[in-house]
Structure 1
Amino acid sequence: MLVNLATVHWPAVSSLLGPTHGAAYLLVIVAAAQQPAAPRSTRLLGLLPGVGGLLVLRRLRTADTPVRR
């Protein structure tokens, strides 16, 4: 999306990728909010655009892994 904006800015590309990006962002927010074992801070990370979903996944993975001694 940023490449299109920085180069040719074709309206067709923007009209396709804009809603797709918005839907993916909403999906991350809803998926993070529905995690029952996740603390509130983890759910709030889903609100960060761009990297929020990756941060939520990372935090959920580290919470699920047992501590080795």
Structure 2
Amino acid sequence: MNYSLGFLKNFLRDEEGAELVEWIVFVALLVLGIAGAVAFLRSEIQSGYQRIGNCIKNTSSC
């Protein structure tokens, strides 16, 4: 019982886990932001690659 209380007190005082959670949340939000931007700009990116492909195939269309 004493060990459990000591572990719980140490766990509540330790802030290393909270810092890790903050970094995980930050990275998750960053990934969601990048995924959202790519999804939003998907058609623009696709048409850009299409134009590049057309220029490679036929240099007169550039």
Query: What TM-score do you get using the length of structure 1 for normalisation?
Result: 0.40
Higher relative contact order (CA 8 A, sep 6+): 1
Higher Cα radius of gyration: 2
